[in-house]
Amino acid sequence: MSPHFSNGAFLTALVFLTGTMAYGQPSTVTHQDLTRYVDDSGDVRIIRTSDDWQQRRQAILDGFQQATGPLPSRDELPALNFQASQDEVFRGVRRVTGTIQAEQGDRLPLDLYLPLELAGDVNSLTGDMVADAVPGILALHPTGSAGKRIVAGEKLNRQYAIELAQRGYVVVAPDYMSFGDYADYDFESDAYVSGTMKGIFNHMRCVDLLVALSAVDGERIGVIGHSLGGHNSIFVAVFDQRIDVIVSSCGWTPFHHYYGGKLQGWTSSRYMPLIRTRYGLDPDAVPFDFYELVAALAPRTFVSVSPVNDSNFDVAGVRKAIPAAGRVYELLEAKDSIMLFTPDCEHDFPTDIRHRSYEIIDRVLKFEPRVTKSE
C-alpha cells in the first residue's frame, strides 16, 4: 500500500501553511503548499499517496527548468577520459588533480582524493567494483577564487573534502565555473540558459566519475557543500537520485527571506539570469522555491546547516520550509531523514557541526570511518 497523509496530518499541514482552515478547492498550488498537486486534467488535488507526490515533484522539476533552462540529455555522454596534471600525497591521502571530459568542447577541472593504496592511472581504476569498495563523496566548494582548493583547507572550516577523504571516502571536488582552474569559463559562449544548470550537469558528471571507479560503491554516494556549494548540493541532488545523502551548509532560504526578497544576487551569469530578465526579480513570479527543492530530495537524507546569524540565508525562512518539506518526508515514511542544525554563528560551517554531519553521512552510507573527530 502506498504511504498516505492521514486526515489529521493533512489538516495540521494545511493549518501550518495557511494559518487558517481552508474550505473549497484552490485554483492554484503555491510553492509553499506541499500538500497539493495539479493532476493531468488540470484540477488541484490533495496529495494522498507517493504517486500523487511524484506528479508534484515532476512539476517542481519543470518549474525549476523554466528558470534555469533544461537539463541536457545524458543519453550519449563522451568518455570521462581523466587527464591528470598532478599526482601527490596530501595530508595522508592521494590527491590527483586533473580534468574530465564534461561534454564535447569542455573539460572540467577537479581534484580526486583516493586512499594511498590506490596507485596507478585513474583511468585504470575504473571497471568492476572491488569487494571492499567505499562510498563516494561529491564535495562542492563555496565562493572564492581558490575554487576546489578551498575545501582542501585553503579556508578555515571549509576543509570538508580533505576531512572526508581522511575518513576513508573517495572524494571528488570540482571547480565551479569562474573559480580555480575554471576561472576563464565563458558563460556567454556556452549552450546553457544558466550557470546553475551547467553546474548541475558538471556535478552529475562528477558522480559519473565516482560510480565508474572500481574502489567506489556506486550505490553509496553523498554530496556536501557550503554556501555556493550548499545550494549546488541541493540542485544536483534534485536531479541525480544516485545521491543518497545531502549536506547543505549556509546554502539556502526561500526567496522571500533572501535579503527580504531582493533576488539580484541570484541573477549573475553563474546563477539564473532569467530571475531578472524574465521574472523581474519578483519572488512570487519565479516558478520554483526552496520549499519545493528541499521536498524534492525526499526520502533521501537531507541535512541543513543554517546558522542563526547567517546574513546571506535567513534562518527564519529555513525554519518555515523545513516543516513544510517534512510533511513530504512523512508521507514517504522518512520523517527522520530531514534534519536542521542551527549553530550560533554567522555564515560558517563550524567544526562540531561538520563532524556531526560526517557522522550522519557515515550512518546513511553504512561506512566505518578510518579517522574520527577524537583521533
Helix axis angle for 315-331 and 7-18, nearest 10°, is: 160
Cell reading at 321: 520550509
The answer to whether the CB of 56 falls within 8 A of the CB of 40 is no
Q: How far apart are CA 29 and CA 47, in angstroms?
A: 11
**pLDDT over threshold 90, residue 2:** no
pLDDT in tens, 62-95: 999 999 999 999 999 999 999 999 999 999 999 9
CA distance readout (Å), 362 to 8, 103, 114, 178, 365: 35, 32, 17, 32, 5
Average pLDDT (361-374) is: 83
**pLDDT over threshold 60, residue 4:** no
Nearest Cα to Cα of residue 317 among 73, 26, 31, 92? 31
pTM of the model: 0.92
The model's confidence at residue 22, banded by pLDDT at 50, 70 and 90, is very low
Nearest Cα to Cα of residue 91 among 152, 136, 157, 44? 152
Q: How far apart are CA 85 and CA 96, in angstroms?
A: 8
Can you tell me which residue has the cell 535579503? 259
pLDDT in tens, 200-250: 999 999 999 999 999 999 999 999 999 999 999 999 999 999 999 999 999
**Range from 26-30, 108-112, 175-179 carrying the lowest mean pLDDT:** 26-30
Residue 370's pLDDT is 87
Q: Which alpha helices (DSSP H) does the chain contain, by range?
A: 7-18, 50-68, 160-167, 195-212, 228-239, 274-277, 290-295, 315-331, 351-364
Residue 28's pLDDT is 82
Helix, strand, coil shares of the chain as percentages rounded to 5?
35, 20, 45
- Percent of the chain clearing pLDDT 90 (strictly above): 91
The model's confidence at residue 371, banded by pLDDT at 50, 70 and 90, is low
Residue 10's pLDDT is 36
